[in-house]
Structure formats: structure tokens, C-alpha cells
Amino acid sequence: MKKLSEEVLSRRTFAIISHPDAGKTTLTEKLLLFGGAIRDAGTVKGKKTGKFATSDWMEIEKQRGISVTSSVMQFDYDGFRINILDTPGHQDFSEDTYRTLTAVDSAVMIIDSAKGIEEQTLKLFKVCRMRGIPIFTFINKLDREGKTPLELLAELEEVLGIESYPMNWPIGMGKQFLGIYDRHHNRIEQFRVEESEKFISLNSDGEIEGTHPLKEDSLYEQTLEEIMLLNEAGNAFSEERVSEGELTPVFFGSALTNFGVQTFLESYLEFAPVPQARNSTSGKIDPLSEDFSGFIFKIQANMNPAHRDRIAFLRICSGKFERGMNVTLSRTGKQIKLAQSTQFMADDRSTVEEAVAGDIIGLYDPGSYQIGDTIVSGKEAFEYERLPLFTPELFVRVTAKNVMKQKHFHKGIQQLVQEGAIQLFKTVKTEEYLLGAVGQLQFEVFEHRMRNEYNVEVLMERQGSKIARWIENDKINENLSNSRSLLVHDRYERKVFLFENDFALRWFQEKNPDIQLYNPMD
Ligand code: G4P
């Protein structure tokens, strides 16, 4: 192995944020192909190839056709080691999806050029924003008709409130897509031409020198005009503002046809942040420090009752991991030997012997870990900053089917809540249990685990979606609670209102201007 600092500085760890169908799988696959990490396209999407069908991972995951092995992917490219973390979407959207964003140093946001900013992209974007994570934007599907590039940039500013700097600019789109004008490399990359003719370098005025068929096309002229406009009226590029998450470099391309992907990857690697220092109870921890440390951001339960084990996903934040090393779990002070560890690849899961800050490894979890736990190898058992609380949107009322099982029921809920699988609320007046989640999958996992790990059948009554708002001041008239604005306690005994809808929230605010409500995700 190279020197620790060289290893750490070669890491780039990111998540792809997007709405389902924007092209996350396709882009990931193309990136992995560049890195030689997979041999065939189609490997990432386990559901299509059926490659993962034999694994004994979570039953629910199998039913849904997603695979735990694809939740972290690693590949090497041009001296870099790149870790891509998956952020599952649609029905699989859960708090884990959000928490994954606490384990990365940057994010790649994919936007479908015809659809613009969609709901899930917005949600994930907000979390990145909250954490100041640098965001790189890939506008996909330029081989199809879509919104104009100027419209898309305007959406970035208006819907997301982030400034943008187009690193390249499309020349036409859909059937008339000719390529991209690469501002960063001062060249044109042509779509669907032979490799040897693909790149045209530009002169110092940013134009094609001499004669070229492209110059005859009116789309070329139009592009030059748009580039002029961008140069004069657009945002200036600033590496510093990119690293602070205030400016997003924007790339246009087409993942399916593998166009613009390599250019994107190379520019991304030029500007993407190295593993960052992280806040802890002992101040900022330098990733280059010799002492190993990391935190757990996700626990994947194995739903097979014969294998009660789980995998805890650890983001290494400093130093080097070596299999078999002894560490301390800061929360309990307990010593643990890290003998069973896993590294993730697109098409297999292998034992990892060594890994460094920036990498993600899977640890065999006999039930010792909780989400947010810190483990350290040094003498000082510090803890990394608590993971943020994510505002649940869906709620169910939960009871044990069999009243004789109360003890198991409470124990199960307590543990699953502590582990971060689900959020628990209690109605203030009647002390009923409500569970909150950001996605339906969390309830299904909860139900499954209560049955298999705690031997309790639960009844879950859907309460639908609600808007949860915490209260600044805990002194509140409990009579304000009703079905449209239900007052509950969270697990830390803080008071929270669950509003039936936006209308109920606004009505409440108008009637009670003195009550300060807040959303922890704002
Ligand atoms: P996701 O992981 O973000 O959900 O998206 P995914 O990559 O699965 O892509 C969603 C659909 O969009 C796929 O088509 C995919 O082929 C298509 N797609 C991705 N990138 C591009 C692109 O650059 N141009 C065009 N025209 N299409 C693109 P599908 O028909 O839903 O699935 P499949 O059967 O082709 O896999």
C-alpha cells in the first residue's frame, strides 16, 4: 500500500441524487465501465440481470429487486479511488437515503432534461444544501427533446436556489443533437462521430479555426451566441464556491449513449473534494490522522431468520482500517475486534483487508451497533457529530396484535427506534404510539423485523402523510391538539405538531402567531 496520505487523498466519495428514471443506474454503469469495475452494462441493475437472486439478503429487498451489494460501489480511475453510494428512490426511499448523504464528500445530481427538477431530487438536494456538500450537476438525455438549457439553468436557480456554472453547453438536442461545447477544455465534443474526429479544439476566441462542416450549421452559430451570453452575463467559475456548495458546475450529456460521461468524470475528479475533516466531540478530526475512526450511517438487517446478523455501513473518517484490528465503540466504551468486514462492488461482495479515510466498509453486526455510532482505534473515544433528524412524512398508529405480547412489543420498538430504523411519537393526550417514516419501506421493514426478531405481530393503521413541525417553546396548551393538528411527543419528549396538510399548518400559524414552529430539515 502507498503512504496513508497518498491513499486518502486519492479518494473521492459521492452519492448520486436524482428522481427515479433520470438515469442514475445508467450513468453509474458507464462510470463503472470506465473504471473497469464491471465488464458488462446491466450489472448494476440487479433486477434486470437476476444476478443477485441467490443472495440471502433482505427478503423485502429481493422482492423489490434491489440489492445491498449495489449500495456502495468502488472503482479506480486515473489514480483516483472512487466510491459511489446509492440513494434508493421511489418505494425504497427511507431515512437511510438521507443518511447516506452524511457519509459523502460531494454529490452528483442527475436531471432529466425533459423533466427538469423533480420531487425527489429536490428533497435530496435540500439535505446536501443543509450540509454544505458540493454538488455537481449532470443534465441527462440530451439525445432526446427536452427543455432548453437556459430554462434548465433558470430552474436550478429558481427551484433549488443554487447558482450554476455550465462547464459545457449542448449544441442542439434530440434528433439535432450535435455535441457539446466544452467551455472547460475549450473544445467541442461531437455526438455520434468516429472517435478520431470526436474532439475539435477551439482557438483562443473559443471558435473553430479554419473550415469545418460544423461551422456551416446554424446550431453552431446559435451555440456561439449562447456561450457569449454566458461569458458576459453568467456566473463566474469559482472553485471555492463550488467547494462550499454555493455554485454547481453543470454538465450536459447522454448517459445511455455514453456521451459526455468521460468528460464529466474527468472534470468532476479535477474539482471534487478529497475526504473532509469532520466535527466531533474532540473538535475537527483530520482524515490524514494515523488513528482510525469512522461512523455508522446505515444498518442493513438480514431478514433471513436463520441469519440474524446485519451489516453496519461505516464511513471511515480518518486513518486506516485493517482487518482484525481492535477498536472502541465510543457510545459504550466497549472493545470490538473488527474481524468480519466487507467491501462492496457492483458484482460481488468481498472481504476487505485494508481501507482508508473516504472509503465505506461493511461490518458484521451481531447487534452491537446503532446508526450514528462512532468507532475509534485511538486512545480517545470521541464521537462524531450526531446525525441530523429527518422530518418524517408518513405515519401509522401501531399496536401489538396480541396484548399478551406487550413486553416484547415495547422492547422491539425501543430497539428499532434506537437503531434509527423508524421514528417514534406518542400522542400527548392518549399516549398512543405513532411511527413516522420518510418512506413506506421503513414500515414494511419494521413490521418484518418485529415479527422475525421480536416475535410480535403488529397492527399498523395508516394515518397518511402529515406535516411534522417541532415547537420552539415546550410550554403549550394541550387543548390545541385535534385531529387536524395532532400534538405528540418525539422520543426525546419534545413536542411536535402533526398537521393534516399544508392548509391546516397555515391555519394554525395564523391562529397562533406566538407559537414558533420549525422543521429540522430547513
Ligand atoms: P434511474 O436509475 O435513475 O431510475 O434511471 P435508469 O438509469 O434506469 O434510466 C431510466 C430510463 O432512462 C431507462 O430506460 C434508460 O435507458 C433511460 N435513459 C438513461 N439515460 C438516458 C439517456 O441519456 N438518453 C435516453 N434517451 N434515455 C436514457 P427504460 O426504458 O426505462 O429502461 P431500460 O429498459 O432501457 O433499462
Give the residue extent of every domain in the chain. 13-69+86-271, 278-376, 394-518
42 CA distance to ligand 1 centroid (A)? 11
CA separation for the pair 438, 87 (Å, rounded): 13
Q: Is 23 annotated as a binding residue?
A: yes
Q: Provide the pLDDT for residue 212.
A: 94
Domains 13-69+86-271 and 278-376 share a fold: yes
How far is it, in rounded angstroms, from Cα 288 to Cα 3? 10
Residue 514 counted as an annotated binding residue: no
Testing ligand 1's pocket by substitution, the residue of 113, 138, 256, 259 carrying the most ligand atoms inside 8 A of its CB is 256
The answer to whether 392 and 469 have CB atoms below 8 angstroms apart is no
90 is in an annotated binding site: yes
* Nearest C-alpha neighbor of 251 from the set 104, 110, 388, 401: 110
Query: 434: closest CA among 407, 396, 392?
Result: 396
Pocket-forming residues, ligand 1, beta carbon under 6 Å? 18, 20-26, 140-141, 143-144, 254-256
- Ligand 1 centroid from CA 75, angstroms: 22
Q: How far apart are CA 521 and CA 508, in angstroms?
A: 20
Q: How far is it, in rounded angstroms, from Cα 164 to Cα 124? A: 17
- Helix boundaries (H) for 366-439: 406-419
Give residue 50's pLDDT. Answer: 36
Q: Which fold has domain 13-69+86-271?
A: Rossmann fold (3.40.50)
* DSSP β-bridge partners for residue 418: none
pLDDT tens for the chain, 522 residues: list them. Answer: 579 999 999 999 999 999 999 999 899 989 988 877 655 555 555 443 333 333 333 444 444 443 444 578 888 999 999 999 988 877 778 898 999 999 999 999 999 999 999 999 999 999 999 999 999 999 999 999 999 999 999 999 999 999 999 999 999 999 999 999 999 999 999 999 998 999 999 999 999 999 999 999 999 999 999 999 999 999 999 999 999 999 999 999 999 999 999 999 999 999 999 999 999 999 999 999 999 999 999 987 764 555 666 788 999 999 999 988 999 999 999 999 998 766 654 344 556 778 999 999 888 888 889 999 999 999 999 999 999 889 999 999 999 999 889 999 999 999 899 888 899 999 998 889 999 999 998 999 899 889 988 999 999 999 999 999 999 876 788 899 999 999 999 999 999 999 999 999 999 999 999 999 999 888
How much is the pLDDT for 1?
Answer: 59
Q: Among 1.10.490.10, 3.40.50.970, 3.40.50.300, 3.40.50.261, what is the CATH number of 278-376?
A: 3.40.50.300
CATH code, 394-518: 3.30.70.3280
